[in-house]
């Protein structure tokens, strides 16, 4: 079964599809082992991994190469965050050809102007495309995909841009009419009220996707109770967890003047061997090295 068909199956069979951001194949493997149904090939996480802002600075090729490497490392489907689709509808056509060709299960395209600014930044530059132009981008994506299972998810940034519920709903409906398979509604509000208001007002059958980073108090049980949300994306917890762990250990090594104290607090090298697939390699050596 293709990864796109796998994701469609999750949408049909699970009350809520939980996926989490990764920035490399190793973090994707950790997500898979933890039980996530899929991986979010996050633009924010990869930008952070390169040490640059999430503002259309990394190229499509950089993101696609990592998304492909992540996809190769796990059995679960990948939802690729392609930001604005790297330009206009013509760029979107190219983006869909490349990401679908690389085995992604879905892409998420957001209705901001290229170059974009990251959504959760206080005072960020949040400029929206005209509805008409973004409808053209969605239509181009839908017409370009080869496999109907490959999902085109339209991301509405109207709440992020402070344009209110009516504008967010209008955009969501227009993008659903243009053929989007799901609508990602994003919010940076510190409480879930804004997102709940949007969900309660949503009248289409097109499923909703949310990214509750700013309002972490909303649990999966709460989301399922809202009925219309089919996927939850935990956007940046992988990179934040990595930074938390690395900062702490590196500081301690400097403070201690050696690695004698940190050693017992971090995973042994054998754990990394396991994540790298060394056991499989050893089996192959026995079978094939002659
Ligand atoms: C990402 O992870 O790249 C996202 C989610 O797009 S957010 O950064 O919260 O906008
Ligand atoms: Mg992003």
**H or E stretch covering 165:** helix 164-177
Beta partners for 19? Answer: 38, 233
Residue 118 in contact with ligand 1 by CB distance below 6 A:
yes
The model's pTM is 0.98
Give the ligand at the shortest distance from the Cα of 21.
1
Domain boundaries, the chain: 3-236, 243-288
Residue 56 in contact with ligand 1 by CB distance below 6 A:
no
CATH annotation of 3-236: 3.20.20.60
Residue 192 in contact with ligand 1 by CB distance below 6 A:
no
Q: What is the DSSP string of 78-142?
A: EEEE-TTTSSSHHHHHHHHHHHHHTT-SEEEEESBPSSP--TTSTT----BPPHHHHHHHHHHHH
Q: Could you list the active site residues?
A: 54
Q: What is the pLDDT of residues 6-44, one digit of tens each?
A: 999 999 999 999 999 999 999 999 999 999 999 999 999
Separation of CA 83 and ligand 2 centre (Å): 6
Closest residue by Cα to atom 8, ligand 1, is 44
Measured from the Cα of 108, ligand 1's closest atom is: 6
Q: What is the pLDDT of residues 240-283, one digit of tens each?
A: 999 999 999 999 999 999 999 999 999 999 999 999 999 999 99
């Amino acid at each position: 079964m293709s990864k796109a068909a796998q994701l469609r199956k999750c949408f049909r069979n699970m009350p809520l599809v939980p996926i989490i951001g990764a920035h490399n194949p190793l973090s994707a493997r950790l997500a898979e082992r933890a039980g996530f149904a899929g991986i979010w090939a996050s633009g924010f996480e990869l930008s952070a991994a390169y040490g640059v802002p999430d503002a259309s600075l990394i190229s499509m090729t950089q993101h696609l190469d990592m998304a492909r490497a992540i996809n190769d490392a796990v059995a679960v489907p990948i939802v690729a965050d392609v930001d604005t689709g790297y330009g206009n509808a013509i760029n979107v056509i190219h983006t869909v050809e490349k990401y679908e060709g690389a085995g992604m299960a879905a892409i998420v395209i957001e209705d901001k102007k290229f170059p974009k600014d990251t959504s959760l930044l206080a005072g960020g530059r949040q400029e929206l495309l005209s509805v008409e132009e973004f409808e053209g981008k969605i239509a181009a994506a839908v017409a370009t995909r080869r496999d109907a299972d490959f999902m085109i998810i339209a991301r509405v940034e109207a709440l992020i841009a402070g344009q209110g519920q009516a504008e967010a709903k209008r955009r969501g409906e227009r993008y659903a009419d243009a053929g989007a398979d799901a609508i990602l509604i994003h919010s940076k509000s510190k409480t879930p009220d804004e997102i709940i208001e949007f969900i309660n007002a949503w009248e289409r059958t097109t499923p909703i996707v949310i990214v509750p980073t700013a309002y972490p108090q909303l649990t999966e049980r709460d989301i399922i109770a809202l009925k219309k949300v089919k996927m939850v994306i935990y956007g940046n917890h992988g990179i934040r967890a990595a930074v938390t762990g690395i900062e702490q250990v590196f500081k301690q090594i400097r403070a201690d003047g050696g690695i004698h104290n940190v050693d017992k607090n971090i995973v042994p090298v054998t754990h990394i061997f396991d994540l790298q697939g060394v056991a499989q390699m050893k089996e192959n050596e026995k079978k094939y090295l002659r």
